[in-house]
Amino acid sequence: MIANVVIGGAIFAYAGWMFVRHVKKSSQGTCASCSMADGCHGSCGTYEHRHKG
Amino acid sequence: MSQIALFGNPNTGKTSLFNNLTGSYEYVGNWSGVTVEKKVGILRHQHIHIVDLPGVYSLHPLSRDEGVATEFLLTESFSAILNIVDASQLKRNLHLTVQLLEFGKPLIIALNMIDVAERRGVKVDVEKISQYVGVPVVPIIARTGKGIDGLVHAVLSTSKQEAQRFFLNYGIEVETAIHRISEQLPTELNLSKRWLALQFLEENQRVHEYLQASVDIGPLLEVRNRVQELIGRPLPQYIHDVREKWIVDVIEKTTIIAPKQPLTITERIDAIVTNKYLGIPIFLLFMYIMFMLTFDWLGSPLADLLDQFFSGPLTDGLSKLLSIVGASPFIKELVLNGIVSGVGGVLVFVPQIFILFFFISFLEDSGYMARVAMVMDRFMEAIGLNGKAFIPMIIGFGCNVPGVMAARTIEQPKERLLTILLLPFMSCSARLPVYALFVGTFFTKHEALVVFLLYVLGIVVALLLAKLFSSTLLKNESSIFVVELPPYRMPQALTLWRSTWDKGKGFVRKAGTFIFAGSVAIWLLTYIGPKGIGVGMDDSFLAAIGGVLAPILAPLGFGTWQAGASLITGFLAKEVVVSTMNIIYHAKNMDALQGLMVHYFTPLSAISFMTFVLLYIPCLATVATIHKETNSRKWTFISISCALCIAYLVSFSIYEGGKLLGFS
Amino acid sequence: MFLTDLQQGKKAVITNLGMMNEVVKQRLIHMGLQEGEEICLKCVMPFGGPLMVEVCGQCICLRRKDAACIGVK
């Protein structure tokens, strides 16, 4: 019984966390797709498009 | 913590150097415009930040990736500039160096590709050039990492060094103008006034805007017009010529150029691949081989092996393990039917995706990419785009997100926007598992051909759409196409592997994180229903959700709740379509799933379904990137709705048309 | 004479960039294609497609209509 709770709890907790993280990251676009994102101290995408036709 | 910025012309190896300095594995390639966004890393074992910037020819931005570099100079604080210079193209590279020297910050020159230069008969006297320019010059070969230690040493000693004093005299008229302008600039600006004045005189639009924000621009314009009259020719050209003269002088004194060598390998290869008549056929042949290897010759057998492992040893082992632990049927079902089917169903396609990425990496690193742009330009011109737009499209085959970003290198805003809009139609690697599953079921004899045709369909739809947009919504802008063709080089095995792995690991990681989560959620939705827990699949919540879409999808040939449900989940990430199907159909392995699918799909509706998955909507990450890059809700919305309408129309015509013709 | 009049594989000296589109001209100058440089026409794509030229040991690809504005001698 305890094993069930532990396994089930772990799976659902991990799944929930990953789900939230994915949606958050994807909707940020640009920066999230950058593999340096974790260690990056610059702010990507701050350059606003100034030459709009 | 101090920050050092990496500046240099496009395709001179900035990112290779960055990787060497920071020990990271950033994306590198052999064409202009691989890096479109600045990246920050930390110098190995030191407390210094290194910033990798997109390549620029000068500080006047003509396209958006170049804007990133100029913007960095104007708005960010940093302690020194590391200017990477291609030794085989000294003259052109030094123009940027002069502008950076005028900026006034401490500067180190990394003289890259000395091996390539020597092969071309260019020998640079490093000490002499360092004396002439007045800054440290370190010879390196960024690709192999030669000379990097010396460079790190130079960087460390420069961070203590004082600002260098470079002065190039532009003649009395311009010097007076520089003086006048400098006088009018407010003292609180942190930038070199001489540099600002010079850039303003050169008509750098971005610097113009920058000055406009802090001072009255009127008097400055007056000064500029006056000096222009005095000189009697366009100022930017005059300033360019003064620099050119200085550069030629420096090169004459510091390098020895041997007489021209006989035909280089590059020229010989070019004679074939950019041949008048063979160019396009060779490109298509390359693509065809890529698909055959991915789906027929190599990819499918490997995928089958993996599938056998997942469905056999792995499932049995897990099942036994769970029994020993004493897991309840609920947990067993969750793990075996939810996670193993969902995640495993996607992971079996890893070999195929790696093969595809390997080819894309090869294309990027060999120098062929820019040639493809050239070969395709005439064709692209006809639909209101230019050949350069083809590069983001090829990258889009890997993943649409970097493809959308790569569109930054396109100069004209209209063409850039168009390229972004049609990128979601490029079939990304996440859609590949869907095709692999269906062609493996219904078209075992022509797997590669069917998938190849799907890719082509994506391109054709994209191009037709481009034509439509460029002749209606977005006309009246001339198209521009100038592209640099880098010399060919044999990609290094290590670089190639790293580049492939970098792209592929995202896929594997996604399987372990998001697809895992998605599989659990989907399985849960099939397990519970409005009537309670542990209901039959057809009474589950997922069936209810998918069922809403089923009638709408019926004219396309797949009006089942299963298809509807997997398409909805596919918006989050396209691989999930396959996970969902695996879970819904309760299949133990790919073979079983393929056996089951025959009951729900016919070959015709399978084609219709694959077409729909190819076109129907960009995934969430792509939508977010499109929004960020176009900075417009309107265009993001157009991109999504367009995709939906087109997907519906195309699938509809394929299915209904096919039925009329007697296929089933 | 213009660049487009040049025969494939032949060399000439650039004399005039004045008639070109401003952005294209800027780009070409950045790449080292400027007045006084020697230019070699390497190849021409069919159906009015782009041209490949070599300047200062660097291959550049540009459109025919732009090349038609480059005066050479």
Q: Does B407 touch chain A (CB under 8 A)?
A: no
Residue B267 lies in a domain: no
Residue owning tokens 């590279």: B93
Token couple for B144: 């192999």
A33 and B67 within 8 Å at the Cβ level: the answer is no
Top residue of A1, A14, A35 to mutate, by most chain B CBs within 10 Å, is A35
| Option in B399, B412, B624 nearest A27 (CB) | B624
Structural domain that includes position C46: 3-72
Minimal CA–CA distance to B423: which of B384, B463, B454, B474? B463
CA distances B601 to A28, B87, B439, B453, B522, Å, are: 37, 60, 12, 20, 21
Residue B266 resides in a domain: no
Whichever domain contains B145, its CATH number is 3.40.50.300
CATH number, domain of C29, equals 2.30.30.90
Q: What is the DSSP string of B53-100?
A: ----SSSS-SSHHHHHHHHHHHH---SEEEEEEEGGGHHHHHHHHHHH
Query: Which is nearest to B211 in space by CA: B232, B234, B230, B195?
Result: B195
Query: d(Cα B518, Cα B569) in Å, to the nearest integer?
Result: 8
Q: Do B209 and A42 touch (CB under 8 A)?
A: no
Which parts of chain B have pLDDT scores under 50?
none
Residues ≥6 apart with Cβ < 8 Å to B617: B424, B570, B571, B623, B640, B643, B644, B647
Best probe of the B interface among C19, C59, C60, C69, by most B CBs < 10 A, is C59
User: Residue C39: its pLDDT value, please?
Assistant: 92
Best mutation site among A14, A22, A43 for testing chain B: the one with the most B CBs within 10 Å? A22
**Count of alpha carbons within 13 angstroms of residue B204, beta-carbon side:** 24
Nearest CB among C42, C50, C56 relative to B92 is that of: C56
Reading phi first (left if > 0) and then psi (alpha if -120 to 50, else beta), residue B422 is in alpha
Residue B188 tokens read as: 């609180």
Q: Which residues of B touch C28 (CB under 8 A)?
A: 482
Cα angle B552, B557, B560 (rounded to 5 degrees) comes to 60
Best residue of B11, B12, B92, B95 to probe chain C, by most C CBs closer than 10 Å: B92
Tell me which DSSP letter residue B538 carries.
Answer: G
DSSP conformational letter for B476: S
CA-based nearest residue in chain C for residue B58: C30
In the block, which residue shows the tokens 């907790």?
A13
Q: Are residues B418 and B514 in the same domain?
A: yes
Judging contacts by C-beta atoms under 8 Å, the chain A residues touching residue B571 are none
Write the residue in B62, B88, B381 that is nearest to C57 by C-beta: B88
Answer yes or no: do B136 and B185 share one domain: no
Fill in the DSSP letter of residue B472: T
Q: What's the pLDDT band for A51 if we cut at 50, 70, 90?
A: very low
Q: What's the one-letter identity of residue C35? A: E
Contacts C45 to B, Cβ<8 Å: 274, 276, 279, 374-375, 377-378
Q: How far apart are CA B366 and CA B493, in angstroms?
A: 12
Concatenated DSSP letters for B353-405?
HHHHHHHHHHHHHHTHHHHHHHHHHHHHHHTT--GGGHHHHHHHHH-HHHHHH
pLDDT of residue A44: 40
Residue A32: pLDDT over 60 = no
Q: Looking at the structure, tell me whether residues B190 and B338 fall in a common domain.
A: no
Give residue B644's domain range: 282-479+498-660
Domain for residue B263, yes or no? Answer: no
Show binding-site residues of B.
8-15, 19, 22-23, 33-37, 52-55, 112-115
**CA B253, CA B455: separation in Å to the nearest integer?**
54
User: What pLDDT, on the 0 to 100 scale, is given for residue B296?
Assistant: 77
Residues tagged in the binding site annotation of B for GTP: 8-15, 33-37, 52-55, 112-115
Confidence (pLDDT) at A53 = 29
Residues 2-41 of A with CB under 8 A from B: 3-4, 7-8, 11-12, 14-19, 21-23, 25-30, 32-36, 39-41
Please state, in angstroms and rounded to a whole number, the distance separating the CA atoms of residues B477 and B499. 36
Residues B109 and B207 in one domain: no
Higher-confidence position of C68 and B120: C68
- Radius of gyration for chain B, computed over Cα atoms and rounded to the nearest angstrom: 29
Dig out the tokens for A3 from the structure.
């094993």
Query: How many domains does chain B contain in total?
Result: 3
Chain A residues close to B205, C-beta within 8 Å:
51
Complex ipTM over 0.90 = yes
Same domain, residue pair B120 and B182: no
Residue B82 falls inside a structural domain: yes
- Helix, strand, coil content of chain C in percent (nearest 5): 20, 35, 40
Return binding residues of B for Mg(2+). Answer: 19, 22-23
| Domain co-membership, B56 together with B114 | yes
Residues with Cβ within 8 Å of residue A50, at least 6 apart in sequence: B67, B206, B209
Same domain, B442 and B466: yes
CA distance B611 to A1: 47
pLDDT for res A28: 67
Task: For residue B244, tell me if it sits in a domain.
Answer: yes
Q: Do chains C and A touch (3 or more CB pairs under 8 A)?
A: no
How many domains, chain C?
1
B253 and B297 inside one domain: no
Contact A33/B572, CB-based, under 8 Å? no
Sign of CA dihedral B437, B443, B445, B451: negative
CA–CA dist B315, B236 (Å, integer): 70
DSSP B136-170: -EEE-BTTTTBTHHHHHHHHHHHTTSPPP------
Nearest to A52 among B413, B502, B506 (CB): B413
- Max CA separation in chain B (angstroms): 92
DSSP 8-state assignment for residue B234: -
The residue from B123, B158, B193 where one domain ends is B158
**Chains contacting chain A through 3 or more C-beta pairs under 8 A:** B
Q: In this structure, what token pair is assigned to residue B220? A: 């400055």
**Max Cα-Cα span within chain A:** 65
Distance CA A10, CA A37 (A): 27
Per-residue pLDDT band at A36 (split at 50, 70, 90): very low
> Which chain B residues are closer than 8 Å to A4 by Cβ?
326-328, 330-331
Per CB-CB distance under 8 Å, the chain C contacts of B58 are: 30
Q: b/e for C7-28, b at 16 or more Cβ within 10 A?
A: eeeeebebeebeebbeebbbbb
State whether residue C52 is helix, strand or coil. strand
Same-domain status, B314 and B221: no
Residues B399 and B520 in one domain: yes
Q: pLDDT tens, C12-45?
A: 999 988 888 888 888 898 888 888 888 999 888 8
What are the φ/ψ torsions at residue B289 (nearest 5 degrees)? -60, -40
Q: Residues of chain A with pLDDT > 70: what percent?
A: 51
Using a CB-CB distance cutoff of 8 angstroms, which residues of chain C are in contact with residue B88? 57
Here the tokens at position B96 are: 């940027």
**Is B270 among the domain residues?**
no
Per-window interface: B 493-532 vs A, CB < 8 A: 502, 506, 513-514, 516-518, 520-521
Residues B154 and B209 in one domain: no
Does A3 contact B326 at a Cβ distance shorter than 8 Å?
A: yes
One domain for residues B112 and B224? no
CA–CA distances in Å: residue B105 to residues B48, B56, B159, B183, B239 = 16, 18, 10, 21, 21
Q: B524 to chain A: nearest residue by CA?
A: A12
Residue of C nearest to B96 (CA): C30
Best mutation target, C58, C66, C69, C70, to test chain B (most B CBs within 10 A): C58
